[in-house]
Chain A
Amino acid sequence: MNQILEIIGMGLLLIGSIFLFLGGLGIFRMPDTYNRLQAGTKATTLGGMSVILSVGLLEPDWFIKTLVLVIFIALSNPISSHALARANYKRKNYPYLKGGKEYDKYREVYQKEEEETA
């Protein structure tokens, strides 16, 4: 039984580290902040979750505690990425667009303010 848990834990550890590596590569390759956040958030969520779960499987006494940590990661990671993206837009770092300006529907929210100040 212990051996099976150990094998599953090792597998999860490997999968998690692969996804964390891909997330890092994504942050390096993507053209702007929003795309980097996309790669970063998803990869760190699944990667972090499976690494923490693997710790819980390799050390069965801690399993329930690691479960709580996994839930906290799933709740807090998307919120932090949303806050970063929104703050970045407020700093007027507009996203990289391949298809031209009509691909950015969020601009209209700030357009009014800009016209008033101009």
Chain B
Amino acid sequence: MEKITSPGKFTRFVMSWLILFVVWLMFTSTLAVQEVITGLITAFLIALFTSRFFTCCDFSIFSPVKLFYIFIYFFVFLWALITANLDVARRVISPKLPINPGIVKFKTKLTSDFAKMVLANSITLTPGTLSVDIIDDTYYIHWIDVKSLDPEEVHKDIAEQFEKILLKIF
């Protein structure tokens, strides 16, 4: 497990430096020399202290195939978010309050901690589901309208569309 979730020390440091610097550039939104130099130094200092918590990914994330799947994931996620909101709106407005809540569980195939976190976040923002807990590779999901209690079918209904793409990225 440890091997997959944490890349080497140097990789982690450079990746977090890079990401912090990009966030800095977006916040200042200029390319003036003094801003860029200040950003590089600040990002370097912060990365020095925080890179040991950085477990997301190594340099292979910049390969075109992975970038393509991240792009696809973004749109799948956006569509799920919009349908989730319409679904909640429908349930809230209708006078009968059509809910049949329960907590279901399923097992995931993902191995890296960061990928599990992304999947849990995505599940929370998809129609009618809210991730309550992850224990090892078992997800516990609060489902507002339970259609099945069988872990396989739950997995198919809730997680499969995201997991397929996440397996290709991480």
Query: Quick one: which of B23, B135, B142 contacts A38, CB cutoff 8 A?
Result: B142
Contacting residues, chain B, for A107 (C-beta < 8 A): 103
Q: A95-B101, A97-B102 are in contact. Are A39 and B142 (CB under 8 A)?
A: no
**Interface 1/0s, chain A 31-49, versus B by CB < 8 A?**
1101101110111011000
Query: Within 8 Å of chain A (Cβ to Cβ): is B131?
Result: yes
Q: A95-B102, A98-B100 are in contact. Are A78 and B125 (CB under 8 A)?
A: yes
- A-B contact count, CB below 8 Å? 131
Contacting residues, chain A, for B82 (C-beta < 8 A): 46
* Dominant secondary structure of chain B at its interface with chain A: mixed
A37 touches B130 (CB 8 A): yes
Range of interface residues on A (Cβ < 8 Å) = 35 or more
Query: Within 8 Å of chain A (Cβ to Cβ): is B60?
Result: no
**Interface 1/0s, chain A 72-97, versus B by CB < 8 A?**
00110111011001100100000111
Distance between Cα atoms of A95 and B88 in the complex (Å): 18
**Interface 1/0s, chain B 82-119, versus A by CB < 8 A?**
10110011011100010111111100000000000000
Contacting residues, chain B, for A86 (C-beta < 8 A): 132-133
Q: A34-B142, A38-B144, A97-B101 are in contact. Are A82 and B92 (CB under 8 A)?
A: no
Query: Within 8 Å of chain A (Cβ to Cβ): is B146?
Result: yes
**A60 → B minimal CB distance (Å):** 11
A95 touches B130 (CB 8 A): no
Contacting residues, chain A, for B130 (C-beta < 8 A): 34, 37-38, 41, 81-82, 85
- List 9 additional A-B contacts (Cβ < 8 Å) besides A22-B88, A38-B130: A34-B142, A67-B26, A77-B125, A81-B124, A82-B131, A99-B102, A105-B140, A106-B140, A107-B103
For the complex of A and B, the 10 pairs showing the least CB-CB separation, nearest first, are A103-B102, A78-B124, A78-B121, A26-B92, A106-B103, A105-B105, A106-B140, A64-B29, A46-B85, A34-B142
The residues of B with any CB-CB pair to A shorter than 8 Å are 23, 26-27, 29, 81-82, 84-85, 88-89, 91-93, 97, 99-105, 120-122, 124-125, 128-133, 135, 140, 142, 144, 146, 149
